[in-house]
Every structure is written in structure tokens, then in C-alpha cells.
Amino acid sequence: MSEPVDRLPQTRVSYESPTFDDPGPVPLDLFRKWYDEAAEYIREPNAMTVSTLDEWGPSSRIVLLKGVDASGFVFFTNFDSAKGRQLRADPRVALNFPWHDMERQVRIRGLAEVTAAEESDAYFAQRPRGSQIAATVSNQSQPVGDRMQMQAEYDAAAARFEGREVPRPDNWGGFRVRVFEIEFWQGQRNRFHDRWVFRRSGGSQEPAPLSHASAWTPTRLYP
């Protein structure tokens, strides 16, 4: 019997979603609606792929969305991590929300900027204490000898901060992705999917507030 990986050409799911004909004029409204619906079905609806660039090409990983408003999409990370270094060198970034169980995805392109320190402080203060301690210890994306070394460093930090608040590390904080393109994708029968992309009105590629209908032009795309 063949393994699943050997049956890839035959592996497919038939989509049966209602036709998606009207995205409305405001991309933020549609994202909020789709996200709220995803929260009813998806275990981690805020899990998104973040794709960055370096001299070798694209690099992708899963990150959790921690904020969205008219100004863009926010996530937090170690600034010395691979993605942190890449975004500081080249702010071009792509996000993807893969809501497979709803036969949907949202694709985003934009420019990343570091959030204000006050915003990073406010989010860090909400994190579980264990995650705060881990952030002070982890040299994210750097080699480490073994798990025992990691655990020893974590335990030492936990002892050091016992009985007091854990401060946000200077090299840890947020990025806001300011959007210049956002696409809403709905699976359909026969792979004849519904795709609506919001691009900047007038052909601009500068980011704009997601709540301003006049800044965006929705366009249906072939699948």
C-alpha cells in the first residue's frame, strides 16, 4: 500500500462554498467579518504565514496576529531573529491566513514598520509570565547546543526575576504591516474559485488605511 505522500497527484478536496460576489468597499470590514467567522471554526484563526526577503530570497514562517485596525496588521517578535533582521533591512512583507477548514484564505502585501515602544510594552505586559521569561532568554534563530542548555538558561532567568516583573527586552517588540494589497479567496467547485483583490485606487503602491473605501478598488480575479 502506498503512503499518503505517494498519492499526492490524487489528493484533493472538492469545495462547496456559496458564491462570493460582493466584497463590499472597505477591506477592513470584510477582514473583520471573515476573521470573526473563522474564530468559530479554526483553532488558531490568528495564525498567519509571514514571508520576508533576504539576499537568498523569500523566507516564510507561522506567526500569530496580535492586532488589526485601519493602520494594518500587528505581530511581535525578537528583532534579532531572522525575520526581525530581514524586515529591518527590507520592509516588504507578505501575510497569508490559511483558513482551510472554511475554504478561505486572505493574502496581504505591505510594508513593515516597528511599532511604538509603548505598544510593545503594553502587549508584553499581557503575555503569560513563562513567555515573558522565554523572551528574555531566547537568542532567536541562533544555534544552541541542546535542550538542556536552553532549559538551564530559562531556569536561571526564572530565578533571577522571581518576585518581580519581567521587563520587555530591548530587542523584542512589534511590527505593523501597512497594507497596499489585500486579497480575499473563497474556494469553489472545479477549482473555479472566487478571488477579490483590493488594490490602491489610482494605481498607487503606497499603503493606505484599510478603513477608507476611497483608497481602495476591489477587482475580481480569474482563479
**Residue positions annotated with a catalytic role:** 191
Q: How far apart are CA 27 and CA 171, in angstroms?
A: 32
For 29, other C-beta atoms within 10 Å of its C-beta total 14
Q: Is 43 exposed, middle or buried (0-12, 13-18, 19+ CB in 10 A)?
A: exposed
Asked if 91 and 113 count as a contact pair (C-beta separation under 8 A), the reply is yes
* One-letter amino acid of 115: T
For 118, other C-beta atoms within 10 Å of its C-beta total 8
The cell for 121 is: 510594552
Phi, psi of 5 (to 5 degrees): -65, -20
Residue 114 pairs in a beta bridge with 175
